[in-house]
Amino acid sequence: MNEKTSASRQNFREAMSRLGAAVNIITTTGPDGDAGFTASAVCSVTDDPPTLLVCVNKNASQHDAILAAGFLCVNVLTHEHQELSPMFAGVGNVPMAERFAQTKWLRLDTGAPVLESATAAFDCKIDQVVEVGTHSVIFCAVRAIHLGDTASGLIYHGRAYHKVNPGKG
């Protein structure tokens, strides 16, 4: 039976858990070193000029570091990064330096950490920030792209990780 429910915060969160999304690690660097967090609120805006948007909770520990740096990298995770994702989400309170020590990183145009084994990474300058409710919506001008060795992915859907096309390029 289909039932209409209110657009309450709880119902909205439940409905959003049913919207599968790619898992990404957003990174930057600043005076305190490299910083990063896990995010699924990332999407394409346009390909001319190449632009992404990234939504960041204003209360997130890395929010201010990202805005202060003026640049970030969207690292799209592969199926092999399932354990890296919760670590960058803050599970286990692993210190930031240890999170980055788990794998290899590159640097492209902006200097933000680029996950070498990401399926894709978008090295970006922050172009515009719009405040909406609890989040900053960050429009990012893509300056460089890194394509990894695999086209596999990691999706978050139904409050669980799902591997997409593991083992295939």
In a domain, 133, yes or no: no
Range of 118's domain?
A: 21-41+61-123+145-163
* pLDDT single digits (tens) 80-117: 999 999 999 999 999 999 999 999 999 999 999 999 99
Q: What is the mean pLDDT of residues 126-144?
A: 97
Question: pTM for the complete prediction?
Answer: 0.92
Give the count of domains, the chain.
1
In a domain, 153, yes or no: yes
Q: What is the mean pLDDT of residues 3-19?
A: 85
CA distance 138 to 1: 39
CA distance 22 to 118: 12
* Nearest one of 143, 16, 2, 151 to 72, comparing CA atoms: 143
* pLDDT single digits (tens) 19-68: 889 999 999 998 889 999 999 999 999 999 999 999 999 999 899 999 99
Q: What CATH number did the domain enclosing 91 receive?
A: 2.30.110.10
In a domain, 136, yes or no: no
Task: Spell 18-53 as b/e; 16+ CB within 10 A means b.
Answer: eeeebbbbbbbbbeeebbbbbbbbbeeeeeeebbbb
